[in-house]
């Protein structure tokens, strides 16, 4: 590989001078010239306002969109060299409303990717039960339910279980707890934080909520207008002197209470 000699292991995800825009003109650029290395086991939070490019950055990783310029390497291989189907089955994905299939039961939803990968039925079944327990749902009670018979928080748990079912090394999460009530949200954040430490996955988590970023991240990237304006651990993050960080800190004050 033509990688520059770096210290430490190969990054799981690496952005190399990535630009993405709808058109070539600079006014339509959504993310511009992003370079970023994400190491194995990191829980990286992409923080930013709506339209800052954080979701686009996430979608570039599993090639839901392709970069206009630059490249993204997953485990050392450019996403353009991966078969997109293989790449996506290698990466778990959780979105805000969970995106569960309403015509599938909970078990069918969780067993989807193992099924696509032609796992044996018994192995899939065992895995589904294991995943449901992992996210705090009793398999005997929830397996046969349809998503509409679940609460918002339970649906989101199933979404996480589904993303983890085929044991992908990478997990992408796009404001997964964004639509939940504050109490359920805090509950899921706490549990997810503990889960993330235990699982040893590389996680990229998108949010516009500083409190959530501080609670979950091992590293926070702040995006503004498609560019990285800060890159720090949660401990260092609040000490950085940058107007956008101050704007986010001010938002904490108005929503009340101290962070962490």
Partner 1 sequence: MSSRWEFLSSHQSEIFSATLDHLTLVVIAMVVAILIAVPLGMLIVQRPTLRRIALGLASVFQTIPSLALFGFLIPVPFIGGIGRRTAIVALVLYAILPILRNTYVGLTGIDPAILESAEAMGMTASQILWRVRLPLALGVILAGIRTATVITIGVATIAAAIGAGGLGTFIFRGVAMVNDAVILAGAIPAAFLALVADFLLALLERRLRIA
Of 2, 8, 26, 148, the one binding partner 1 by CB under 8 A: 148
Question: Which residue do the tokens 């696509």 mark?
Answer: 116
- Residue 112 vs 228, nearer CB to partner 1: 112
Q: Does residue 247 touch partner 1 according to CB under 8 A?
A: no
Of 87, 132, 215, 216, the one binding partner 1 by CB under 8 A: 87
Size of the site for partner 1 (CB under 8 A): 27
Of 18, 95, 206, 221, the one binding partner 1 by CB under 8 A: 95
Considering the complex, what minimum distance in angstroms separates the CB of residue 94 from partner 1? 8
Of 57, 72, 100, 210, the one binding partner 1 by CB under 8 A: 100
Long-range Cβ contact pairs of 146-153 (< 8 A, separation 24 or more): 146/102, 146/103, 146/104, 146/105, 146/106, 147/98, 147/100, 147/101, 147/102, 147/104, 147/106, 147/109, 148/102, 150/106, 151/184, 152/179, 152/180, 152/181, 152/184, 153/180, 153/184, 153/187, 153/188
- Residue 29 vs 55, nearer CB to partner 1: 55
Q: Does residue 64 touch partner 1 according to CB under 8 A?
A: yes
Nearest to 74 by CA among 226, 202, 164, 197: 202
Of 57, 106, 110, 112, the one binding partner 1 by CB under 8 A: 112
- Which residues are near partner 1 by CB under 8 A? 62, 64, 84-91, 93, 95-103, 112-113, 116, 148, 162-163, 172
């Amino acid at each position: 590989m033509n990688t520059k000699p770096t210290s430490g292991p190969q990054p799981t995800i690496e952005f190399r001078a990535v630009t993405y825009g709808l058109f070539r003109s600079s006014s339509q650029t959504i993310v511009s010239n992003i370079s970023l290395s994400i190491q194995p086991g990191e829980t990286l939070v992409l923080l930013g306002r709506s339209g800052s490019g954080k979701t686009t950055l996430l979608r570039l990783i599993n090639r839901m969109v392709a970069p206009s310029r630059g490249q993204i390497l997953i485990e050392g291989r450019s996403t353009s060299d991966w078969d997109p189907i293989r790449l996506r089955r290698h990466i778990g994905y959780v979105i805000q409303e969970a995106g569960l299939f309403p015509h599938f039961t909970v078990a069918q939803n969780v067993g989807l990717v193992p099924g696509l990968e032609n796992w044996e039925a018994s192995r899939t079944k065992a895995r589904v039960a294991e995943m449901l327990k992992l996210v705090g749902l009793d398999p005997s009670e929830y397996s046969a339910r349809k998503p509409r018979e679940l609460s918002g928080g339970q649906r989101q748990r199933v979404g996480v279980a589904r993303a983890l079912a085929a044991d992908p090394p990478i997990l992408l999460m796009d404001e997964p707890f964004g639509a939940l009530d504050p109490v359920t949200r805090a509950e899921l954040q706490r549990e997810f934080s503990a889960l993330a430490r235990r699982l040893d996955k590389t996680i990229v988590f998108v949010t516009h909520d500083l409190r959530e970023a501080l609670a979950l991240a091992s590293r926070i990237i702040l995006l503004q207008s498609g560019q990285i304006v800060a890159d720090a651990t949660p401990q260092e993050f609040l000490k950085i002197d940058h107007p956008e960080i101050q704007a986010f800190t001010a938002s904490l004050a108005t929503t009340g209470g101290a962070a962490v």
